[in-house]
Amino acid sequence: MALPPSELTANVTEPQLGPDVGPRGNRQWQIFWSSPLAWIGLVLTAFMVLFSFVGPLVYHTSAYTPHLTHILQPPSARFPLGTNTLGRDELARLMLGGQLTLIIGFIAALLSMVFGTIYGLASALAGGFTDVLLMRIIDVLLAIPGLFLLLLLDSMFTPNAVLLTAIFAGTAWFGVTRLVRSEALSVRTRDYVEAARSMGAGTWRIMLRHLLPNVMGVVLVTTTFQVAGAILGIATLSFLGLGLPPPQPNWGAQLSTAMQSMFQGAWWVIYPPGLCIVFIELGVNFLGDAVRQAFDPRLLGN
Amino acid sequence: MGRYILQRFIQAIPTVIGLTIVSFMLVHITPGGPAYAMLGPKATPARVAAVDRSLGLNLPLWDQYGIWAWQLLHLNLGISYFYLMPVTTLIEQALPVTLAIVGISYVLAHGIAVVLGSVQAYFKNGWFDHGTTAINYFLYSMPGFWLAILLLVWFAVDIPLFPTGNLCDPNTVCNLGTWAYHMVLPVMSLTIGTVAGWARYMRTSMTDTLVQDYIRTARAKGLSETRVLFKHAWRNSVLPLITLLGYFFPTIFGGALVVEEIFNIPGMGLLTFNAAIKRDYPIVMAAVLIGGILVVIGNLVADLLYGLVDPRISYG
């Protein structure tokens, strides 16, 4: 029996009109982009990225040249943010310091996301004794205060950018793993996974095609917050003197130098590096909250 | 309840054993031994070998772990390579200081966050709520060490109200008063950052509670608003914060390290930091182990408290 053309088209187009239908991911990105938090976060993050990477292209003063006749000078036309105790230009050092901080922060968070997700999925899929053992290891690693762990690993090597990235990634993935595993466990028992298994899908196929898309929300949320964590961690380690060796600038290390001139009222070395850290942290935290609103299944419906 | 406590206790044992293995491995599989740190530029392979022999570092790893773990069972944490004192003595001096800073900050932060979050939730979307949320976002994104530096610059240098560091002045008598006076800025640094994180949770939790049916019932019965808030709503909304107690413990411990370093306070953080740099293995292993055990205990206590406060949870 042939249907009139009008009814046919109605049947085809109707599902797309309903707000709840359509690819799940699209709807979540819609929620994300409609959140003011996302936009503020994006603007702040973009601003800090531009400041660090495009800034040095526009502002040509060297971050390394010590101007020995201009030690700890307040902001002036020549040095817009003043100079530090070695007579180095603060603004140029802020820009250069931002580059490595951002690169290390983002790559470390990505690496820990990949590793944490694989570990979590593997643990959930393996089940039984393997799962218990793998999660016990995570329990132990989570119990050690993170900064202690960073401090230990970092103090035993001579830090360089690659090593710092590895250390941050290596100490950040435990949290992701826990969340991914519990999320995957709840998906694993659903009917369609059982169906896929009974149709002969292998472990890898189930992991990649069925579990991974379902845990992506949780992974995205934690990864965003991990970027914030890693950036804060780099700043903290550098402040403690365990970051990249001088003269390589870093916001944390700049604050540690600033403490030496605390009594001289040198506000220009104390406020700008701290504000740089706050801006990027605020930006990433805002983004994280927006991503959580859009993707965290537990918040859906609120 | 007693059975549950015992059960949780037994579950914690493998974690603690794991902690001993991790803290041992962390120090021993990484390159650069304490001999190099002790000998400095004078290190020759022969001298390094001699130092390693005297410290027992030439034995197979498994034997070294066995010796260390056996001594650990007797509460002997070894002798510090640099202070040449028993690690137990050093920790006995340092741990109470850190526990005091962390403990006081914890209690203060909890109290302030509960009040702040409740008021925010009660006047939800008002100017107080939005203002506090904005400030909290800012404080939450602020690195702990920068906050500590700012407090130091403002209240110890620019306006010399408080001392810039240490636990008491070398030329005055140390008593509880001077101690508390020296603790103000470090505790403030640690508290402010923590409040910013917790008030958010409290706000969410209080918001969820205030729309519950039993709150409406309480209001309908004609109970005063203060009674509704403090007798009915408050108790339930504090619950999620208790779980957070355990969760935030490692973070606060890390924070204490930075604060101790800035204010030069002889606590566990400073001890660990200096030991890590000098590769003072016995101290480092002990610090990681004790930090981990405290976190395990923190989680355990949070779990048990949860059961005490929430009658819906019974541990059979």
Q: Which amino acid is at B67?
A: I
Tell me the nearest-neighbour CA distance from A127 into chain B, angstroms.
19
Q: What's the rounded Cα separation, in Å, for the pair B142 and A220? A: 23
Contacts of A145 in chain B (CB under 8 A): 250-251, 253-254, 257, 291-292, 295
Interface contact B11, partner A, CB < 8 A: no
pLDDT band of residue B30 (cuts 50, 70, 90) is: low
pLDDT band of residue B313 (cuts 50, 70, 90) is: low
Query: What mean pLDDT is predicted for residues B188-210?
Result: 84
Query: What mean pLDDT is predicted for residues B180-200?
Result: 85
pLDDT band of residue A137 (cuts 50, 70, 90) is: confident
Q: Are A242 and A232 in contact (CB under 8 A)?
A: no
Query: What mean pLDDT is predicted for residues A22-49?
Result: 79
Mean pLDDT of chain A: 78
Query: What mean pLDDT is predicted for residues B48-59?
Result: 77
Confidence at residue B66, expressed as pLDDT on a 0 to 100 scale:
84
Decide if A152 and B276 are in contact by the 8 Å CB cutoff: yes
Residue listed under structure tokens 């016990």: A136
Alpha carbon of residue B315 to chain centroid: 27
Confidence at residue A2, expressed as pLDDT on a 0 to 100 scale:
45
Task: DSSP for B19-82, please give it.
Answer: HHHHHHHHHHSSSS-HHHHHHGGG--HHHHHHHHHHHTTTS-HHHHHHHHHHHHHTT---B-TT
* pLDDT one-digit tens code per residue, B91-150: 888 888 888 888 888 888 888 888 888 888 888 888 888 888 888 888 888 888 889 888
Confidence at residue A11, expressed as pLDDT on a 0 to 100 scale:
41
Confidence at residue B1, expressed as pLDDT on a 0 to 100 scale:
66
Contacts of A48 in chain B (CB under 8 A): none
* pLDDT one-digit tens code per residue, A145-204: 777 778 877 777 777 888 888 888 888 888 888 888 888 887 777 788 778 878 877 777
Q: What's the rounded Cα separation, in Å, for the pair B55 and B84? A: 12
CB neighbourhood size of B184 (10 A): 15
Q: Are A285 and B137 in contact (CB under 8 A)?
A: yes
Q: What's the rounded Cα separation, in Å, for the pair B67 and B51? A: 18
Confidence at residue B158, expressed as pLDDT on a 0 to 100 scale:
77
Confidence at residue A111, expressed as pLDDT on a 0 to 100 scale:
92
Contacts of B272 in chain A (CB under 8 A): 148, 151
Q: What is the pTM of this model?
A: 0.82
The greatest distance separating any two alpha carbons of chain B, rounded to the nearest whole angstrom, comes to 85
Decide if B145 and A262 are in contact by the 8 Å CB cutoff: no
Decide if A156 and B30 are in contact by the 8 Å CB cutoff: yes
Give CA angle at A167 (A161, A171), nearest 5°: 150
Q: Which residues of A91-122 are buried (b: 16+ CB within 10 A; e: fewer)?
A: bbbbbbbbbbbbebbbbbbbbbbebbbebbbb
Decide if A142 and B140 are in contact by the 8 Å CB cutoff: no
Query: What mean pLDDT is predicted for residues B239-256?
Result: 74
Cis peptide before A247 (omega within 30 of 0): yes
Query: What mean pLDDT is predicted for residues A86-95?
Result: 79
Among A7-21, A255-269, B161-175, B290-304, name the one with the lowest average pLDDT: A7-21
Q: Are B302 and B238 in contact (CB under 8 A)?
A: no
Q: Is the pLDDT of residue B241 over 70?
A: yes
Confidence at residue B172, expressed as pLDDT on a 0 to 100 scale:
67
Interface contact B78, partner A, CB < 8 A: no
**Closest chain A residue by Cα to residue B278:** A155
pLDDT band of residue A12 (cuts 50, 70, 90) is: very low
Q: What's the rounded Cα separation, in Å, for the pair B292 and A141? A: 9
Query: What mean pLDDT is predicted for residues A288-298?
Result: 76
Q: Is the pLDDT of residue B252 over 80?
A: no
Tell me the nearest-neighbour CA distance from A140 into chain B, angstroms.
5
Size of interface A-B (CB pairs under 8 A): 133
Q: Is the pLDDT of residue A206 over 70?
A: yes
Task: DSSP for B223-235, please give it.
Answer: --HHHIIIIIIHH
Residue listed under structure tokens 């290596």: A170
Query: What mean pLDDT is predicted for residues B78-83?
Result: 81
Backbone angles phi, psi at A54, to 5 degrees: -90, -30
Tell me the nearest-neighbour CA distance from A135 into chain B, angstroms.
10
Q: Is the pLDDT of residue A18 over 50?
A: no
Q: What's the rounded Cα separation, in Å, for the pair A128 and B265? A: 47
Confidence at residue B169, expressed as pLDDT on a 0 to 100 scale:
66
Confidence at residue A107, expressed as pLDDT on a 0 to 100 scale:
92
Among A24-33, A94-103, A117-126, name the one with the lowest average pLDDT: A24-33
Among A6-20, A63-77, A127-141, A275-289, name the one with the lowest average pLDDT: A6-20
Q: What does the block give as tokens for A67?
A: 């101007």
Q: What's the rounded Cα separation, in Å, for the pair A183 and A189? A: 11
Q: What's the rounded Cα separation, in Å, for the pair A277 and A173? A: 22
**Closest chain A residue by Cα to residue B293:** A143
Confidence at residue A1, expressed as pLDDT on a 0 to 100 scale:
40
Among A238-252, B3-17, B168-182, name the one with the lowest average pLDDT: B168-182
Q: What's the rounded Cα separation, in Å, for the pair B229 and B231? A: 6
Strand partners, A89: A83
Q: What's the rounded Cα separation, in Å, for the pair B23 and A242? A: 20
Query: What mean pLDDT is predicted for residues B220-234?
Result: 78
Interface contact B279, partner A, CB < 8 A: yes
Tell me the nearest-neighbour CA distance from B119 into chain A, angstroms.
21
Half-sphere exposure of B304 (CA within 13 A, CB side): 15
Q: Are B189 and B151 in contact (CB under 8 A)?
A: yes
Among A8-22, A115-129, B70-84, B278-292, name the one with the lowest average pLDDT: A8-22
Confidence at residue B266, expressed as pLDDT on a 0 to 100 scale:
87
Interface contact A151, partner B, CB < 8 A: yes
Tell me the nearest-neighbour CA distance from B22 into chain A, angstroms.
8
Backbone angles phi, psi at A127, to 5 degrees: 65, -175
Residues in Cβ contact with A79 at an 8 Å cutoff, skipping those fewer than 6 apart: A61, A67, A70, A73, A89, A90, A91
CB neighbourhood size of A275 (10 A): 14
